Amino acid sequence: MLRGRESILGNNSSILLDTSFLLPTLGIDVEDDVYRALELLKKTNLFYLEAGLLEALWVAIRFSEKIPLKTIEEGIEAIRRDYILIHPSGKSFADALMIYKLGHRDFIDALHYTTALNHNIKLLTIDKQFINFLKQNNYKLEGIVLTPKDLLHK
């Protein structure tokens, strides 16, 4: 299994996690593929965007009746301790704005993608709609965008 993962990641074992991969740390249940992918990536440099953490907190607000505030607090601390904060460049913001203007109305998705692209790391996402949007608009996916299935089925 490790060989397949290594071939997917190539020499660059750095991955930017989209928001869905931050949610479990905040106590929010997600699909099984997310948990399995995170398990496979324990020895990988995992990055996050502060904007992604903010987006995850917006999701947590919807579950705030079910999730203890202490869980959310500890989750934020764990993300900041265990993952690496990456700062989008000015170019990443400009490129994300272009994706937004082309019609993809989730700026955070676009910022994740352009940050990964401009920092030469991979983006792990479960957002098939966004991947399809990128394909339709001829954005580079090969070597940039990964899904949990890419990790699990190699």
Closest CA to 49 of 86, 75, 81, 76: 86
What residues contact residue 77 under an 8 Å CB cut-off, 6+ apart?
none
State the pTM of this model: 0.89
Residue 32, both tokens: 């099984």
Query: In this structure, are residues 30 and 24 in contact, taking their beta carbons and an 8 Å threshold?
Result: yes
Number of domains in the chain: 1
Query: In this structure, are residues 15 and 145 in contact, taking their beta carbons and an 8 Å threshold?
Result: no
How far apart are alpha carbons 3 and 14 in whole angstroms?
16
Residue numbers in the chain where pLDDT is lower than 50: 1-11
Domain that holds residue 33: 2-152
pLDDT in tens, 74-101: 999 999 999 999 999 999 999 999 999 9
Domain with residue 136: its CATH number is 3.40.50.1010
What residues contact residue 150 under an 8 Å CB cut-off, 6+ apart?
8
